[in-house]
Amino acid sequence: MKIKSIIILGIAQIIFKHLIEMAQRMAQKESENHFNVVLTGGGTAGHVWPHFALFEASNSALAKAFQENKINVHYVGSQSGMEKDLVLSNQPTWKYYSIATGKLRRYFSLKNFTDPFLILLGIIQAFILLGKVKASIVFSKGGFVSAPVVWAAWLRGIPIIIHESDATPALATKLTIPFALKALVAFPETIKRISPLFQNRVIEIGLPIRESLFSATKEESQKYFSLSPERKTILIFGGSLGAQSLNKKMFDIIPELHNNYNIIHIVGKGNKFEIPGLSNYRQLEFLNDGMKFAYACADLAICRAGASSIFELAAARVPMILIPLGMHASRGDQIINARIFMNKGWAQSIDENTFQNNSAIQLIESTINSLEERKKALESAPTKESAMKTADLIWEILLKNENNK
């Protein structure tokens, strides 16, 4: 009886071992049949939305492969940044990973003595993670979380593509471009601000924009917000940075603007402010899927000059008045973005420091009176095609790298 039990146990062990080996071979085969795309970027929503746009580009091979389950998407961000909430709430099939992050400040701070260790930890975590997920490529949209991922990918020999949205390269772009295979930029003006050593890897491609932002009609958008079709509509929003200070300026002039126009005002999370008696004023903290209705409904937009916002408005052919975030709260990139758009005739701009209620109202009214002229100028602005071009480039590099193995 004892011998019989030993024999049965031995057979069971052999079968169990065989099943494990078979499962490992199947897992290995499945891994080999999939590309593992790693995305990174954070700090603002503008570092996240372009990632979503790549997989909404319906005519691209990358989006098609993702829909056919040939691509696994892994997003690397910070533990507490807004990128985590955006990815988890909008992309349930993506896998999100957090790494340690540190900021390289160009001013004195006690954190300058501790953050380098956090950055080093982030590089180690990213290095381990990229090996674990068998990363095929890394696409970075910038922000301080992205640099450790790019550096770790370079150490592993993984192809890297980075993208800079603003006209002036951010610090993260300057620190990662030496390690990138390709560096994509939204503005042609950015290229001359990059070291000649790396200009041969730079491609002007525009900004990847989500196709879903252009899927609504004006009529259904007016119904969505319950607004009068007899009035022109002004869209006001501050983006993920600078919403509060912009809101304060707008709250002062909204009652007067309301006499003649519909107003959609996206104030930002926790920034709601009651203005009673305005029947054609819609105040919202945040719009996600509803942003397509806001763009379709708007005859004029008043906003900051973050790259994502202004490229989306340009592609939607919405005339805009920009109030760029000043040097007190940024590196001045929005000021340059606004100047470029203004020089091309795609927007008008108001200096935040010299903002006056009466002159702002006059500019708004004169712009609305010349909407057709403004829209005609926008016909030469970039379109939503940038997302497809970027996605196709990623797919091309994926295939080339796979064939070279």
Domain pair 34-210+385-403 / 212-380, same fold? yes
pLDDT at 243: 76
381 is in an annotated binding site: no
Q: What is the pLDDT of residue 30?
A: 43
Residues 6 or more apart from 331 whose CB is under 8 A from it?
A: 168, 170
46 is an annotated ligand-binding site residue: yes
Domain 34-210+385-403's class? alpha beta
Burial (0-12, 13-18, 19+ Cβ within 10 Å), 195: exposed
65 is in an annotated binding site: no
Helix axes 357-368, 243-257, angle to 10 degrees: 70
| Residue 125 annotated in ligand binding | no
pLDDT at residue number 384: 85
Is 210 annotated for ligand binding?
yes
Which pLDDT belongs to residue 29?
Answer: 43
Q: For every one of its 405 residues, what pLDDT tens digit does the chain have, with 9 covering 90 and above? A: 556 555 555 555 655 565 555 545 444 444 445 899 999 999 888 899 999 999 998 889 999 999 999 999 999 999 988 999 999 999 999 999 999 987 765 555 666 667 788 999 999 999 999 999 999 999 999 999 999 999 999 999 999 999 999 999 999 999 999 999 999 999 999 999 999 999 999 999 999 999 999 999 999 999 999 999 999 999 999 875 567 889 999 999 999 999 999 999 999 888 889 998 999 999 999 888 899 999 999 999 999 999 999 999 999 999 999 999 886 656 788 999 999 999 999 999 999 889 999 999 999 999 999 999 999 999 999 888 999 999 999 999 999 988 776
Please state which CATH number belongs to domain 212-380. 3.40.50.2000
Q: Does 356 count as an annotated binding residue?
A: no
- The domains of the chain are located at 34-210+385-403, 212-380
